[in-house]
Amino acid sequence: MSIAQQAPNNKEKIGVQTFALVIGFIVLAVKFYAFFTTNSNAILTDALESIINIVAGGFGLYSLYLAAKPHDEDHPYGHGKIEFISASIEGSLIFSAGLVMIVKSIYNLFKPIEIASLDTGLILVVISGLINFGLGHYAQRSGEKNSSLTLIASGEHLKSDAYTSIGLLIGLGFIFLTKIYWMDNVVSILMGVMIIYSGTKILKKSVAGIMDEADFALLDKVVYHLNDKRRDNWIDIHNLRIIKFGEKIHIDCHTTVPWYFNANEVHDELKLVEENIKDIIPNNLETFIHADPCHPKSCKSCNKQDCKVRQFAFEQKIEWTLENVMKNEKHFL
């Protein structure tokens, strides 16, 4: 997920999710009308996914409201992780819907049902697919801009719904032309597989957030920038970690500074480290930087020219990499 370059807008996030929920009810009505008109299992699969959209969208709306609340005594890191839970529920529901429709369609291969008015069904599928794609693109863009996993998950789900509508359109078009009605169940099974895949992707992202999985792409950007802007007083940076709480990003690390610095000097150096991290993550950043005193073994890689207590001559600068900055140990030659 990309990092927002402007402050996340909670009102926009809630507004987009509310709009998606309202449109979701309209699309649901269109799809169920198409199902009752045609009696097609494939269209029913599409309609059931819309029910999932609405249920997940309602919980997503509540999670965005909760995530926007400031931190309190009970939740010192804020309420942002509710978005990961919301996305995991949506992913689970999507997965379940796909599984149910596969089972139903396999059953109807042996117990066929009559299908009618496919021409009307095709038109309604096209209309609902276009609506879902446009709405999904809008929600996903807003989610990326505002660092909201809930909106990104909703957008991806709506777009995947639109993609399945394309497959549904092709399948129903083939059935309409050939009159091979048992193919409706085959199309439904294929759509079920696609829906399960979509739900699995959302589940994977949400579990990664709940488990605080490392964002190596973001870590690498931070390390590269700090290495490029490093000062001689920053002898090394280690034990760097990044945790995401919804839109908020928490970073903690250890910075080794000259052992003889007083408290004000140490504070100033750590403040500069924080300011440099903000170049990469300008909004909703929370940092905790621990100061470590340098060690005589640090001298060989310390390029501080005005150090009057140096015990070993400078030999070589140690470049900061993802590997050595994430380790919980100072850098020595």
- Residue 96 sits in a domain of what CATH number? 1.20.1510.10
Give me the pLDDT at residue 54, please: 82
Residues 280 and 317 in one domain: yes
Mean pLDDT for 218-223 is: 92
Mean pLDDT for 210-217 is: 78
Residues 151 and 268 in one domain: no
Rounded to an integer, what distance in angstroms lies between the CA atom of residue 63 and that of residue 201?
20
Give me the pLDDT at residue 208, please: 76
Residues 158 and 33 in one domain: yes
Phi, psi of 235 (to 5 degrees): -65, -40
* Within-domain flag for 289: yes
Rounded to an integer, what distance in angstroms lies between the CA atom of residue 326 and that of residue 323?
6
Residues 250 and 201 in one domain: no
Give me the pLDDT at residue 246, please: 63
* Within-domain flag for 3: no
Tokens coding 103: 């089972």
Q: What is the mean pLDDT of the chain?
A: 83
Domain range holding 76?
A: 10-210
Residues 134 and 259 in one domain: no
Give me the pLDDT at residue 251, please: 92
* Within-domain flag for 168: yes
Residues 222 and 314 in one domain: yes
pLDDT > 60? residue 1: no
User: Over the stretch 62-79, which tens digit does the pLDDT of each residue have?
Assistant: 877 877 777 777 777 777
The domain boundary, picked from 210, 229, 250, lies at 210
Residues 20 and 140 in one domain: yes
Look at 45 and 189; give whichever has higher pLDDT: 189
The domain boundary, picked from 210, 242, 269, lies at 210
User: Over the stretch 82-132, which tens digit does the pLDDT of each residue have?
Assistant: 777 877 887 888 788 788 778 877 877 887 767 777 778 788 888 888 888
Which one, of 149, 130, 150, 194, lies nearest residue 57 by Cα?
150
Rounded to an integer, what distance in angstroms lies between the CA atom of residue 280 and that of residue 286?
13
Give me the pLDDT at residue 300, please: 93
Taking CB atoms within 8 Å and a gap of at least 24, the contacts of 294-298 are 294/235, 294/256, 294/257, 294/258, 294/259, 294/330, 295/259, 295/330, 295/332, 297/330, 297/332, 297/333, 298/235, 298/236, 298/256, 298/330, 298/331, 298/332
Which one, of 154, 198, 120, lies nearest residue 23 by Cα?
154
The enclosing domain of 290 has a CATH number of 3.30.70.1350
pTM assigned to the model: 0.63
Mean pLDDT for 277-301 is: 89
Residues 113 and 232 in one domain: no
* Within-domain flag for 321: yes
Residues 250 and 311 in one domain: yes
User: How many domains, in total, are found in the chain?
Assistant: 2
Residues 252 and 278 in one domain: yes
Residues 174 and 256 in one domain: no
* Within-domain flag for 86: yes
Look at 197 and 68; give whichever has higher pLDDT: 197
Of 160-174, 229-243, 279-293, the poorest mean pLDDT is in 160-174
Task: For the chain, give the longest Cα–Cα distance.
Answer: 91
* Within-domain flag for 155: yes
The domain boundary, picked from 210, 244, 279, lies at 210
Residues 138 and 281 in one domain: no
* Within-domain flag for 333: no
* Within-domain flag for 5: no
Give me the pLDDT at residue 7, please: 53
